[in-house]
Amino acid sequence: MYSLHKLLWDIRKDPDLADRYRADPDPILDSYGISGEDRTAMRELDFKAMYERGFNPYLIYFCAIQLKVDRADYYAQIRGEKN
Amino acid sequence: MAQTTGRVVGAFTASHSPGITGWPERAEPAKRAAVESAFAEARSRIDALAPDAVVAVSVEHFTNFHLGNLPAFAVATSDSYLGPVTKEMGEFLNVAQHQYPGHSRLGRHMYEFALESDFDPALVEGGLEFDENFCVPFKHLDPESKYPLVPIIVNGVNPPWPTVRRCHDFGRMIRRAVEAQTEAQRVVVIGTGGLSHWVGLPESGQINTEFDRDFIGRFESGDESRLLSYTAEEIDAAGNGAHEIRTWLVAAGSVQVPFDVLAYEPVPEWLTGTAVAAARV
């Protein structure tokens, strides 16, 4: 859990990291050692999957906002109304 | 003449939803008026108490701490605190970014007294920055940031959380700490957070009015057995944000008297069951 939790927090705190993640996520996912289903969920910004996998909703939400995801879109996705 | 020891002269609690300051106009006008009037009443009572220091108790939302180091309790001892943490958050909350004064001597005493009292909070000597936890309610309660603060952070954002009983005990320890020093004669305790709300979850925007009204009933009764009987699961029924009521338990422990709830309004537009309360000191 910790690697992705760390990335979610780092993106919340570091706008430059957020920009770099939006441009090219794979090198950052590599550097955090995030693999498997966690990586798929984060790479696709599948917030619902992250929530279902037990990640902290505050961190998922704050990270989404930092990645310039619209709040309404975030909630539509987490409610399963939109992919 | 020997200096007299300090006293907790008042305690207050309030919600800290970003909407309270960030987008107040979206609430129904009557609800907004009730909440703002309650904040104004609390502010005038605080001013009348003329505190030398305010012990400010809240959670923090992954602004300072993260899952590599998440204290159950933390005591800050700095002489100033930046809030809101970023300019962007300042715009979001509609709170101008500024330095809040800290009461470092009382903070240091509080930390030492906690250790001597078998509590083991994290020490935060500097660098603590505020998010909505303090910036939102203090815009109403102390708009000029004139009262020096001792910020105390309780984990309300990631399970497992400290028990409600432990939070109440922490509040009782705060009172003993205040009474064991002479630096700050008149101390007000302010707890912020809650009531029901969900952050980042499918239920976000719902309000659990049944939970909120029951909690208010317990809080106003001063019946500690009812107030301290909450399990984490019971609180979870009112959302991940409802775990912030731990800050209300700390405030309650610091005075151990019933509170008057000055306003309670379920405000879906602010995503929160919104309340302001004052201890019947």
**Per-residue model confidence as pLDDT tens digits over A67-79:** 999 999 999 999 9
d(CA B246, CA B257): 16
Q: What is the ipTM of this complex?
A: 0.95
Q: What is the CA radius of gyration of chain A?
A: 12
DSSP A27-72: HHHHHTT--HHHHHHHHTT-HHHHHHTT--HHHHHHHHHHTT--HH
Question: How many alpha carbons fall within 13 Å on the CB side of residue B18?
Answer: 15
Q: What is the pTM of this model?
A: 0.97
Q: B185 and chain A: CB distance < 8 Å anywhere?
A: no
Helix (H) or strand (E) holding A12: helix A2-13
Using the beta-carbon criterion (under 8 Å), do A6 and B66 form an inter-chain contact? yes
Place of tokens 């009037």: B37
B165-188 burial, b for 16+ CB within 10 Å, e for fewer? Answer: ebbbbbbbbbbebbeebebbbebb
Question: Residue A61 is nearest to which of B67, B68, B199, comparing CB atoms?
Answer: B199
- The answer to whether the CB atoms of A56 and B205 lie below 8 A apart is no
Q: What is the per-residue pLDDT for A83?
A: 60
Average pLDDT over residues B113-126: 98
Q: Name residue, tokens 């289903």.
A: A37
Is residue B2 predicted with pLDDT exceeding 90?
no
pLDDT, tens digit, for every residue of B12-55? 999 999 999 999 999 999 999 999 999 999 999 999 999 999 99
Structure tokens at B37: 């009037």
For chain A, the domains span 1-79
Nearest 10 degrees: CA dihedral of B249, B255, B260, B262?
A: -70
Token pair belonging to B3:
């200096």
- Residues near B187 by Cβ (< 8 Å), separated by ≥ 6? B6, B7, B8, B9, B51, B52, B53, B54, B55, B106, B178
Amino acid at B2: A
Task: Give SS3 for B259.
Answer: strand
Architecture of domain A1-79: Orthogonal Bundle (1.10)
> Quick check: A51 contacting B, CB < 8 Å?
yes
Helix segments in chain B, DSSP class H: 18-22, 29-49, 87-93, 104-116, 132-141, 164-179, 209-221, 224-227, 232-236, 245-255
Which residue type is seen at B59?
Answer: V
Closest partner CB to B201 (pick from A12, A57, A59):
A57
Could you tell me which chain B residue has the CA closest to the CA of A61?
B200
- Portion of chain B with pLDDT greater than 90, in percent: 99
Q: Work out the average pLDDT over A24-52.
A: 98
**pLDDT greater than 90 at residue A82:** no
Q: Give the domain ranges of chain B.
A: 7-263
Return the percentage of chain B with pLDDT > 70, whole number. 99
Nearest residue in B to A57, CA atom:
B200
Nearest CA in chain B to A52: B201
Closest alpha carbon within chain B to A80: B202
Closest CA to B243 of B187, B190, B177, B195: B195
* pLDDT on residue B103: 98
B1 to A69, B62, B269: CA distances (angstroms):
62, 47, 55
Give the closest of A1, A6, A60 to B200, CB-based: A60
Q: What is the mean pLDDT of residues B165-173?
A: 98
Residue A78 forms contact with B (CB below 8 Å): yes
User: Do residue A61 and residue B200 have CB atoms under 8 angstroms apart?
Assistant: yes
Q: Would you say residue B1 has pLDDT above 90?
A: no
Quick check: B23 contacting A, CB < 8 Å?
no
Instruction: Report the chain A residue with the minimal C-alpha distance to residue B160.
Output: A56
Average pLDDT value for chain B: 97
Three-state SS for B211? Answer: helix
Q: Does B2 touch chain A (CB under 8 A)?
A: no
Chain A / chain B CB contacts < 8 angstroms? 48
C-alpha B88/C-alpha B65 separation (Å) is 19
Interface of B with A in 158-177 (CB under 8 A): 158
Instruction: Choose among A45, A12, A50: nearest CA to B62.
Output: A12
Q: A2-13 and A57-66 helices cross at what angle (nearest 10)? A: 40
| CATH class of residue range B7-263 | alpha beta
What are B208-258's pLDDT values in tens digits? 999 999 999 999 999 999 999 999 999 999 999 999 999 999 999 999 999
Q: Which of B266, B263, B260 is nearest to B275 (CA)?
A: B263
Q: Does B237 touch chain A (CB under 8 A)?
A: no
